[in-house]
Amino acid sequence: MTGTKHMKHDKPLALPIKKIITESERVKTFVFDYDFPGEPGQFVMCWIPGFDEKPFGIIKKDGFGFMISVAAVGESTKALHMMEVGDMLGFRGPYGSTFNLPDFGSIALVAGGYGMVPLSFLAQEARKKDIDVHLFIGARTKEELLFKSWMEEIGVIIHPSTDDGSEGFKGFNVQVFEDFVTKHPPSFGHPHVERALRLPEGGPIKDLPFEGSTPQGGGMLSKAYTVGPEIMEMKVAEICYANNIPFEVSLERYMKCGFGICGQCCVDPVGWRMCVEGPVIDGEKLKQISEFGKYHRTASGKVEKYPWNKDK
């Protein structure tokens, strides 16, 4: 994947903002003139001097370099949106586990909200390996379909959905993904699948292939990747389990240190740190994380149930 020219930075590295791109009413992209190390799925701890330090997914867009895309949702991200070219931000990282791509075939990316941030970088790297990428992107409205033109440019097959129906399917991206999956059940007659099955152990045969569809007619989905609100990730996981699709999910938990010592982002009951063993978790390992889709811990360490969780 992307080369790592620089060492990991564990002390915040101050970088001036080189360029600011307004993506939508709520989202801005900040570009930096520095080859920050990192691979798809990993994150940086971004210090917004005077406000906070927060984890953001790493993007390294070809022709642009290292960048972060941020929605103005809280006090610190709103402060970040007020910043100008030349203002300084501090970065530590890269931290966390990475997505793992198959060697060939087709993949599905299911992105909700700002889940598009890490998945855009993954889509770029997948296209470089000539992997077909089906993107199931959901947003409130057409204007908020993040990185749509970039994804089109690199040849990603987009299956959009919007809450208001202003583009693509009116409703949730999960429904589009489920339709796609159930209409294209596993088929072992496909040439890609046959090739996969012939490979020696340790090859992509582990990733049970199933047939998908491409505009060229026919293809093979080797794996799915999902990032977004946890309720959406939970639904995607259910679909993947039900249809035997290997998948990876990025699980967000409150973080302090980012490098594995504070214990704040450990998940029950295994105690894995989402900044070291996560945030990217394989579907099989995910089965061991009982709190997935149910609750998380706040800055104090207190357990907070998700609103949809009716347990106890």
Partner 1 sequence: MNLSTNLAGIPLKNPTILASGVMGVSTSSMKFVQENRAGAVTCKSIGHEERKGHHNPTVYSWGQGITNAVGLSNVGVDDGTVLLKEMIDALEIPVISSCFADTVDNLARVAEKLMASKPVAIELNLSCPNTENDFGLMFALDPEATTRAVSQVKKIAGNTKVFVKLTPDASNIVDVGKAAEAAGADALTATNTLSGMIIDIHTKRPILTNKFGGLSGPAIKPVSVRAVWNLYNAVKIPIIGTGGINTGEDAIEYIMAGATAVGIGSGVYYRGIDVFKKITDEMSAFMEKEGYKSIEEMRGIAHKS
Given the rule CB under 8 A, which residues bind partner 1?
A: 10-12, 14, 45, 47, 49-54, 88, 90, 92, 255-264, 266-273, 276, 297-302
Q: Residue 304 CB, nearest distance to partner 1 (Å)?
A: 11
Q: Residue 270 CB, nearest distance to partner 1 (Å)?
A: 6
| Amino acid (1-letter code) at residue 77 | T
d(Cα 141, Cα 166) in Å, to the nearest integer? 6
Identity of the residue, 92 or 235, whose beta carbon is nearer to partner 1 in the bound complex: 92
Angle, in degrees to the nearest 10, between helices 173-183 and 230-242: 10
- 3-state SS assignment for residue 286: helix
d(Cα 217, Cα 39) in Å, to the nearest integer? 31
Residue 115 near residue 250, CB atoms below 8 Å = yes
Identity of the residue, 69 or 76, whose beta carbon is nearer to partner 1 in the bound complex: 76
Q: Residue 50 CB, nearest distance to partner 1 (Å)?
A: 7
Identity of the residue, 178 or 291, whose beta carbon is nearer to partner 1 in the bound complex: 291
Q: Residue 121 CB, nearest distance to partner 1 (Å)?
A: 23
d(Cα 55, Cα 260) in Å, to the nearest integer? 14
Residues 6+ apart with CB under 8 A from 216: none
Q: Residue 82 CB, nearest distance to partner 1 (Å)?
A: 16
**Cβ atoms within 10 Å of 3's Cβ, excluding its own:** 7
Identity of the residue, 97 or 226, whose beta carbon is nearer to partner 1 in the bound complex: 97
Identity of the residue, 53 or 167, whose beta carbon is nearer to partner 1 in the bound complex: 53
